[in-house]
Structure 1
Amino acid sequence: MPWKAACASGWHSASEARRRGSVTLCRIPRVPCIPYNPRRVFPAGAFPMRRPLLLSPLFCGLILAHTPAGWAQRDHDQAIELVEVSAQRTRADALLFSESAVTRPTHDAGELLRSVTGMQALRRGGRGFDPIIRGQSQSNLNVVANGAYNFGACPGRMDPPSTYIGVESFDRVAVIKGHRSVIHGPGGSGGTLLFEHERPELGERGVAGSLTTGYTGNSDLRSLSGDVAAGNDRGYLRVFAASKRADDYEDGDGRRVASRFDSDSLGLVAGIELGSRGDLQLSHERSAEEDIAYAGNGMDGVFADSRSTSLRWRQQDLGPLDGLELSVYRSDVEHLMDTYSVRDRSPMPMGMAAPSSSDTWGGRLLASWQRGAVEWQLGADYRVNEQGAILYSDQGKDGIYDALVSRMWPDVRHRHRGVFAELDYAASAVDSLRLGLRWDDHASQARGSALPAGMQGMATPERLYETFYGSAAGQQDDAGLSMVLGWDRQLDSTLLFSANLSSTLRMPDSSERWMARQTPMGAWVGNPALEPERHQQIDLRLEGGDAALGWAVSVFADQVDDYIERYREGSADLYRNTDALRHGLELDGHWSLNDALSARAGLSWTRGESDREDLAQIAPLELRLNLDYRRDDWAVGLEWLVADRQTHFNPAVDAEGPTPGFSVLHLYGHYSLATDLTLELGVENLFDRSYAYHVNAGNQDPFEPTVLRVNEPGRQAWVRLRYAFGH
């Protein structure tokens, strides 16, 4: 949102819009970047009954679909914007083009982020794409939606937190690569993903919305989504919903890949002004998924349900403070996977089932104060996450569990509390500095570690910890300091240099510290004695350009002390601390060849290795090239994606052996049938190539002993029709 528009709305001040680091809007055609503020276990047979999610019959509103952002007007029917934090501060006339436009329909937030240079997403099927930023993933990333944290409930990562985010409804995704700010919670060494709803821009009638329907061949994916918003200067109400149905797709060799799913979601966002300087926003979102087939996991998802609620209060000019913000949230996830309900994975009469849950709640208090060239942000945050997962045997595959095999997450509880302070200082007309410090205190315990499991109840979690590590199962307390130091220098009117140094503490997650699974096929056991990871990073960036040509180059390195590494010992998957190093580079460019023709390019390369071996899930050299031609009512484009052969891999996690390189071509386009009606269509993998990304499900799931790579879809055509009203 432009600064003056932010002020006019009454919801943000100009100083607030400049706060928390510059962010660049990634849109096509290239436009000046606008500084943006990204602020702000169940006993046997007693798994809770799943409540079906009924979709509202009202499917109208904002479709934040996946067409190139430049094809939409900047109002309520605009396509979702991908945003990257690239510096502490950037002047309003600075230019940056670090992200590719979104050029295909995506139905999972992780899949959407594949279009960002330096980001990948691990595929397991048609859902559950796990985001990766510069080789870091899982608990190295903070995923926040409207201020609420969410954690998946599946030990096998079928449901990373991003998969529960209804990507159709969010206006903006802020991608923070690396650790650039201390205000977004603990950890986040790899980066932070901020999914945000903006205040809707309504027409004179005070009502706006849109409706989108789409179809993708190959997987027979049908989608319907919509959003409607109504309000006035004092407040607004926005309601949105989406429904998707997909079958298995075929890869380029004609082999069927298990990827079917049914997904429904709905939510609302309501906001009201409190006087002339305050506001209150309530957000609630629910999602329900079922019959989810995973080619890259040993089980399938029977269902996965999520509920998330957040409340945010903001007040400006409160005494000596420029702003005060209080946010609270709660997110709950219920998940059930088994080997027989979606697909019968084994001819044996006995099946396996694993109900699990993850409940998260917390809040943040944030105060801001600015005087002259100095701006402070001070605050505190608190978060609790409770996770439980139990593995049962089911002799008749009838849903009646016969024996408790393992307490995989034995009633695990993580409690975090932190305080932070961040200073932004405009040292001169061309220099700006940032210093951020935060102190985190973390307590973790497995409250069910002494409960019986396995044959005769002897395989208790605490017995497994003692057997494999000689460690007790008591509460683990960790605390430490994290730091950010940034410097931006405007070298001239078109050239900006940015440097960012950081030191970050990342705590072990539930699987790394408390996993306790043992079966006749092997064991998967966490290590209670793990030390937290200490990430020490440097990120240097140079960007420049004019109206016709823009470019950016970044180099980065991450030295990790006490890196948490998964390894195999016999038939057991275990964890240990070691040291590791990641480093790499990214290049982005955009060329406006004439008024109608433009080209974009993005290149990324990352290398990772520990003291012992190559790091897992590190993408090879990747290149993405786009050529776009647009007229008043229509546009066409092509995207060429090339990945090099990856010879660096970790056989304990990655699929064994090098990953072949690939080259694929995608086509896309749109045509405005009427003022409010747009047809979008395209073809992915035009030449029907058989290929897979190196970052892949591979051997990550101990439920699946077979090492495999999940191939991407073969050739598939897609079409979408979008109708917008009230603008």
Structure 2
Amino acid sequence: MLFQRSLAARRAMLLASTASAVVMSALWTLPAHAEEDEVSPVLIPELVIDAPEEDSADSRIIAVEEISGQPARDAGELISRIPGVSAGRRGGHGSDISIRGMAQDRIAVISDGAYVFGACPSRMDPPTSSMMPMSGDSITVRRGYQTVLDGPPAPAGTVSLERADSANFAEGLSGNLEGGYESNGSQRYASMQARAVHNGSYIRGFFTGRRADNYEDGDGREVRSAFKQYGGGGEVGLRYGADSLLSLSMEENHVVDAYFAGAGMDAPWTATDTYRLAVDHNFAEAGVFKGFDASVYGSFVDHVMDNYSLRTPGMMTMRTDATSDTRGARLAGDFAFGAVEVTLGGDYRRNDRDAVSYSSMMGAVPPTTISNYMWPGMEIENVGIFAEVKAPLTEKTELTTGIRTDFVSVRATKADALPGGMGAVTARTLYGTFYGVTETDQDETNVSGLVRVMHDFGDFSGWVGASRAVRTADATERGIVRAPAMGGGGWVGNPGIDPEKHHQVDMGVEITRSVWKASTSIWYDNVQDFISRDIARGQSGVLVNDGVSSVFRNVDAELAGIDIAAQWAFAPSWRIGADIAYTYGENTTDDRPLYQIPPLSGSLELTYDVTEWSAGSRLRWAAKQSRSDTSTVTGSGLDLQETSGYAVIDLFGTWQLADALMLQGGIANVLDTTYASYLNQENGFDPTVVQVNEPGRSAYLQLNFEF
């Protein structure tokens, strides 16, 4: 029954399988040709697989410095350069990533072990916007649901910024400094990381600062995108016993005066503070019980957005003050029964989101009348217990199985708070009006699990997996409140919404040779009770039929896709690489495309690399996207338009000036192409364009010093 839901989905999977087979068959002939030409092996950092039992083409650990391109304006933009990851923008800061056609809280974002949730109901500050990439050493991207150990299920995948174990660093003082400039938007930035290590114990500190003006698109039109960002932090680690570690980390990140062309407000202030205490204990003489890890953390986000601080105020002024506070803990034990490894444990996570909107019809600055309790004190508490087992079935085959149960408790503490102004109603009243549901306290018990088999075929390795991931609704889907006003539509969450149940299957192969490597994966996701944002038309479970208000409802959906990546050192010092990703999404309940599904896209890169310097060219491209949910009459209207395809050329290079000093530079969008990502938001400032366009031509230089 799982694969009989949609003929279009089966066709998409057949196309994906055929394309995969053709690419892999073509690449299979490359080694003989390479050997005849006596091509020397080269290191391909972007696709290095460190541990087959943990990493595959769908799970990559990438050093931060290996993600190339022009200076990223935030971590979301940086991560979107990893194959299989897309992003949408509404300005220069706050790129919102998408994996497997899913975004927002369907992706888990973890910064050094701490979960982070944004504090803006309109997602001006997605979690990746508060991450400081240079404060870490690597980024792990898992696509799909691959482990039960990462906390409450995130069916799209997990993005984790991680810091390297101090055991990997030499004794004494080390670190790096970097700074640079980009011409389009006059972006300038600097960062520092320093660490001192003694007998495995360490102390490290980091700082980053970045600011940019508005950039121009390929047609020379100014895009409202300026921002300032600065932050820093530190970590102390005590090494003891049999390679055990106790660590404490703290960091603070501020984004100031962020301009947004794709929003009705700007963000004069966003601050994120994160704290974490962790212990990783390993027994000196381990028996069945090998060790355990435990941690507690907190991430606290304050956000202010308004329509008057950074733009000319009109007669109606608006401001929203919002917070998102997350606290969590984790305890897990590692056991070994012969060759079988078992991890047992539990985790706790609580996210409290509160947002209060103010407005004034008389142009008052600041406005003081409470118009909405937009997040009416939403508290989502999750207690999870989990078990994951890794067992060798044969010398070359490994089985991973996992199961977790999440106990979810939801409260809306301000559901009965009455805003000011004429005709004001409470959140509870609006829930009843839109859905006939007035009970905001909800409890769920959600069971998720997975099974995954990896096999070494000798010439190549492969894997096949199946999983069930149950995701509870987030604070917006469950409880957001913006009352209809002056003929405009409301935006009302559904406190009775059911959790999503994702049933995913995936399979893939990867091949590694001395001068080339390639990987491909194919996946399919059947979703029961997909939480869909829609327009109120009196659908099942929706009592309002005004054709303008935004609501949330459960539908059934299907997603499928393919990812392919390959690199080949075809001559001494020369390397060519390519990647391609395609995602298909369908709302099977309403028989229409799922919204915000990126089109077929990829890149092609040619690089010449010798000891002292390297240079290359990259082609970034996306095909036309005609499967859109653009209609506000019969659809959600969340897709702005069908986008045409585009191709953008970049040039880049590096020069090793000295052993510890490197100069990087290049020109992004050499041909000054005007284009927008399919996921970009509507441009509310320029009536001549529909979406927020990407930057036009931009030259950049960056200097990096290691010590």
- Whether the TM-score (by the shorter chain) exceeds 0.5 is yes
Q: Given the alignment of the two structures, is residue 723 of structure 1 paired with residue 705 of structure 2, yes or no? A: yes
Counterpart secondary structure, 1:462: helix
Kept in 2, the 8 Å contact 1:545–1:551? The answer is yes
Q: Given the alignment of the two structures, is residue 187 of structure 1 paired with residue 157 of structure 2, yes or no? A: no
Q: Given the alignment of the two structures, is residue 685 of structure 1 paired with residue 701 of structure 2, yes or no? A: no
Kept in 1, the 8 Å contact 2:618–2:650? The answer is yes
Cα pair distance change 1:482/1:707, threshold 3 Å: farther
Summarize the alignment of residues 43-442 of structure 1 with structure 2, pairs less than 5 Å apart: 86=58, 101-200=67-166, 206-317=172-283, 320-344=288-312, 348-394=314-360, 399-442=365-408
Q: How many angstroms does 1:473 deviate by?
A: 3.4
Q: Given the alignment of the two structures, is residue 544 of structure 1 paired with residue 502 of structure 2, yes or no? A: no
Q: Given the alignment of the two structures, is residue 448 of structure 1 paired with residue 414 of structure 2, yes or no? A: yes
Cα pair distance change 1:29/1:477, threshold 3 Å: closer
Q: Given the alignment of the two structures, is residue 624 of structure 1 paired with residue 603 of structure 2, yes or no? A: yes
Tell me the TM-score normalized by structure 2: 0.87
Give per-residue Cα distances to partners, 1:170-220, cap 9 Å, x unaligned.
101110100010000012100011110113478766001221110001110
Question: Which deviates more from structure 2 when the two are superposed, residues 117-126 or residues 416-425?
Answer: 117-126
Cα pair distance change 1:704/1:479, threshold 3 Å: farther
Residue number among 472, 479, 496 corresponding to 1:507 in the alignment: 472
AA aligned to 2:375 is W
Residue number among 709, 720, 724 corresponding to 2:691 in the alignment: 709
Q: How many angstroms does 1:474 deviate by?
A: 2.6
Kept in 2, the 8 Å contact 1:202–1:208? The answer is no
2-structure distance, mates of 1:205, 1:562: 53
AA aligned to 1:583 is A
2-structure distance, mates of 1:239, 1:321: 34
Cα pair distance change 1:705/1:469, threshold 3 Å: farther
Cα pair distance change 1:224/1:201, threshold 3 Å: farther
2-structure distance, mates of 1:706, 1:465: 38
AA aligned to 1:627 is L
Counterpart secondary structure, 1:427: strand
Consecutive unaligned residues in structure 1, runs of 5 or more? 1-25, 39-82
Counterpart secondary structure, 1:455: coil
AA aligned to 1:302 is P
1-structure distance, mates of 2:689, 2:406: 38
1-structure distance, mates of 2:111, 2:255: 19
Q: What is the aligned residue count?
A: 644
1:663 corresponding residue in structure 2:
647
AA aligned to 2:474 is D
Give per-residue Cα distances to partners, 1:407-443, cap 9 Å, x unaligned.
1100110010010000100111111101100000101
Residue number among 33, 50, 53 corresponding to 1:34 in the alignment: 50
Q: How many angstroms does 1:33 deviate by?
A: 2.7
2-structure distance, mates of 1:150, 1:32: 28
Q: Given the alignment of the two structures, is residue 586 of structure 1 paired with residue 560 of structure 2, yes or no? A: no
Give per-residue Cα distances to partners, 1:251-276, cap 9 Å, x unaligned.
00111111100100101121111223
Give per-residue Cα distances to partners, 1:292-311, cap 9 Å, x unaligned.
01111111101000000011
Give per-residue Cα distances to partners, 1:558-593, cap 9 Å, x unaligned.
000000111113220111100000001111101011
Cα pair distance change 1:253/1:707, threshold 3 Å: closer
1-structure distance, mates of 2:104, 2:292: 31
2-structure distance, mates of 1:523, 1:96: 42
Kept in 1, the 8 Å contact 2:308–2:365? The answer is no
AA aligned to 1:122 is G
Cα pair distance change 1:287/1:704, threshold 3 Å: farther
AA aligned to 1:499 is V
Kept in 2, the 8 Å contact 1:353–1:394? The answer is no
AA aligned to 1:212 is E
1:633 corresponding residue in structure 2:
612
Question: Which deviates more from structure 2 when the two are superposed, residues 644-653 or residues 127-136?
Answer: 644-653
Cα pair distance change 1:277/1:508, threshold 3 Å: same
1-structure distance, mates of 2:56, 2:509: 15
2-structure distance, mates of 1:233, 1:457: 67
Q: How many angstroms does 1:400 deviate by?
A: 3.3
2:5 corresponding residue in structure 1:
none
AA aligned to 1:33 is I
Consecutive unaligned residues in structure 2, runs of 5 or more? 1-41, 537-546, 631-635
2-structure distance, mates of 1:205, 1:440: 43
AA aligned to 2:176 is S
Kept in 2, the 8 Å contact 1:580–1:610? The answer is yes
2-structure distance, mates of 1:722, 1:134: 34
Question: Which deviates more from structure 2 when the two are superposed, residues 569-578 or residues 393-402?
Answer: 393-402
Cα pair distance change 1:334/1:245, threshold 3 Å: same
2-structure distance, mates of 1:180, 1:655: 29
Counterpart secondary structure, 1:330: strand
2:660 corresponding residue in structure 1:
676
Give per-residue Cα distances to partners, 1:220-260, cap 9 Å, x unaligned.
00101111111211411110001111000000011111110
Kept in 2, the 8 Å contact 1:100–1:115? The answer is no
AA aligned to 1:509 is D
Tell me the TM-score normalized by structure 1: 0.85
Q: Given the alignment of the two structures, is residue 485 of structure 1 paired with residue 451 of structure 2, yes or no? A: yes
Kept in 2, the 8 Å contact 1:179–1:502? The answer is yes
1-structure distance, mates of 2:282, 2:427: 50
Q: How many angstroms does 1:675 deviate by?
A: 1.6
Kept in 1, the 8 Å contact 2:317–2:366? The answer is no
Q: How many angstroms does 1:531 deviate by?
A: 0.3
Cα pair distance change 1:252/1:189, threshold 3 Å: same
Kept in 2, the 8 Å contact 1:298–1:704? The answer is no
Counterpart secondary structure, 1:168: helix
Kept in 2, the 8 Å contact 1:85–1:176? The answer is no
AA aligned to 2:71 is P
Cα pair distance change 1:640/1:602, threshold 3 Å: same
Alignment identity in percent?
34
Counterpart secondary structure, 2:393: coil
2-structure distance, mates of 1:205, 1:573: 57
Q: How many angstroms does 1:314 deviate by?
A: 1.3
AA aligned to 1:321 is F
1:598 corresponding residue in structure 2:
575
Give per-residue Cα distances to partners, 1:604-650, cap 9 Å, x unaligned.
10010112121111111112001010111110011101110100112
Residue number among 550, 568, 571 corresponding to 2:535 in the alignment: 568
2-structure distance, mates of 1:100, 1:625: 16
Cα pair distance change 1:706/1:136, threshold 3 Å: farther
Give per-residue Cα distances to partners, 1:141-196, cap 9 Å, x unaligned.
11111111111000001111111110122101110100010000012100011110
Cα pair distance change 1:187/1:399, threshold 3 Å: farther
1-structure distance, mates of 2:471, 2:170: 49
2-structure distance, mates of 1:381, 1:205: 34
Kept in 2, the 8 Å contact 1:551–1:590? The answer is yes
Residue number among 451, 455, 461 corresponding to 1:496 in the alignment: 461
Kept in 1, the 8 Å contact 2:57–2:521? The answer is no
2-structure distance, mates of 1:158, 1:339: 14
2-structure distance, mates of 1:37, 1:306: 35
2-structure distance, mates of 1:155, 1:368: 39
Counterpart secondary structure, 2:356: strand
2-structure distance, mates of 1:290, 1:37: 42
Question: Which deviates more from structure 2 when the two are superposed, residues 318-327 or residues 375-384?
Answer: 318-327
Counterpart secondary structure, 1:324: strand
Counterpart secondary structure, 2:454: strand
